[in-house]
Amino acid sequence: MKPGDPAAVEQLFNAVAPRYDRLNDLLSLGLHRHWKRQMLVWLQPRPGERWLDLCCGTGDLALALARRLRPGGEVLGLDAAAAPLRRAQERASREPWLPVRWHQGDALATGLPPAALDGAVMAYGLRNLEDPAAGLRELQRVLKPGARAAVLDFNRQPPGSAAEAFRRAYLRRLVVPAAAMAGLRDQYAYLEASLERFATGPAQEQMALAAGFLEAHHRPLAGGQMGLLLLKT
């Protein structure tokens, strides 16, 4: 599978959707939920605001965000793949009072009006876009002046470093074999290939500034294995 191929990425996430949440909890020891909560603490979403969860997947982050925006706020969860969105809708049906809606669409061309949103989040999505720089430009376009945004993803480590060796061993010896037991070896083997083309933290900062963000700060998480790009317009 070619990293960044939109059709292939959509097919991948449609395939993994039924087991995605359980595998994420298993393979991160539940820590992905902590990193997402930490993202929201830094962003400080407020009741009444309108936010976007771009590449929302099965919706766990969008729902956590929606809980913070009541009363009067709203979250739009947008993803290119239909199966994860169906899973997100199922989860949302258990909390019908939450201000969240779902839309299948292109992260590079959302169709949203410019300067319409108070904030945006993206978790493990930027790396999979055909053109990550264009994704950041689209994110900046839909945000109001003074808005906040954050992008959570794996952190690409320097080649030959101990951290990079740990990440490779983690993916090859734990993640892929565990996914293979669920019949998803090829889908999770894609992770390593996608990281090879992903921008480093400093490069992400430069891409964000070039996209029009006024502030861009990349923070390492989990001993440098994950990264959080904090943005302001």
pLDDT tens sequence across 88-107: 999 999 999 999 999 999 99
Residue 190 lies in a domain: no
Query: CA-to-CA distance for 53 and 45, rounded, in angstroms?
Result: 12
Task: Tell me if 173 is assigned to some domain.
Answer: no
Q: Is 170 part of any domain?
A: no
> Residues 111-136: pLDDT tens digits?
999 999 999 999 999 999 999 999 99
CATH code where residue 140 lies: 3.40.50.150
Q: Is residue 59 part of a domain?
A: yes
Q: What is the pLDDT of residues 161-172, one digit of tens each?
A: 777 777 777 777
| Distance separating alpha carbons of residues 129 and 203, to the nearest angstrom | 16
pLDDT bucket at 5, cuts 50 / 70 / 90: low
Contacts of 187 (CB under 8 A, 6+ apart): 12, 15, 16, 179
**What is the arrangement of strands in the sheet containing 74-79, beginning at the earlier edge strand?**
100-104, 74-79, 50-54, 117-123, 143-154, 226-232, 215-221
Judge whether 223 lies within some domain. yes
Q: List the domain range (segments joined by +) for residue 65.
A: 6-157+199-232
Q: How many domains does the chain have?
A: 1
Identify whether 143 is part of a domain.
yes
**pLDDT higher than threshold 80 for residue 76:** yes
Q: What is the pTM of this model?
A: 0.89
pLDDT of 14 strictly over 80: no
